[in-house]
């Protein structure tokens, strides 16, 4: 079966819900022009340490280490190919919805990638 993997089923890691030191959809396979087209599989790992800042207000701090990447079917997943980032942030369980502000720093930044990425989320699960 040589059917191409549909675009809507492809993986595009990066951003607040995967590898926070990279922009949303920044990681994964790229074509000859450097455009991301997404992988048919991905591996993402997040390690977080949450700690109370102001418990009465539901305010938490977080420090994290993320690693991940998307791959094509014909590529074997190698741990050494994962992109890595570290960072910190603040999370607030507001009366309306959870709010997250997290700053990520890529460990293995490549040319053209940001040295720091600010992630913001409103309403996602904590």
pLDDT digits (tens, 9 = 90+) for 42-56: 999 999 999 999 999
14: closest CA among 31, 32, 33, 29?
Answer: 29
In percent, how much of the chain has pLDDT > 70?
94
- CATH fold of 7-122 reads Porin (2.40.160)
Distance CA 78, CA 56 (A): 44
Distance CA 28, CA 71 (A): 6
59: closest CA among 96, 90, 88?
Answer: 90
Cβ neighbors of 23 (< 8 A, separation 6 or more) are 14, 15, 114, 117
Mean pLDDT score across all residues of the chain = 91
pLDDT digits (tens, 9 = 90+) for 87-119: 999 999 998 899 999 999 999 898 888 999 999
Cβ neighbors of 82 (< 8 A, separation 6 or more) are 43, 45, 67, 68, 69
């Amino acid at each position: 079966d040589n059917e191409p993997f549909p675009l809507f089923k492809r993986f595009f890691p990066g951003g607040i819900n995967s590898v926070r030191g990279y922009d949303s959809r920044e990681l994964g396979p790229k074509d000859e022009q450097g455009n991301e087209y997404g992988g048919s599989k991905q591996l993402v790992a997040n390690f977080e340490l949450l700690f109370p800042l102001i418990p009465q207000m539901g305010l938490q701090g977080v420090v994290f280490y993320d690693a991940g990447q998307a791959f094509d079917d014909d590529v074997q997943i190698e741990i050494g190919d994962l992109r890595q980032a570290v960072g910190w942030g603040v999370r607030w369980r507001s009366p309306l919805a959870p709010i997250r502000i997290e700053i990520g720093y890529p460990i293995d930044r490549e040319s053209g990638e940001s040295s720091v990425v600010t992630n913001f989320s409103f309403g996602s699960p904590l």
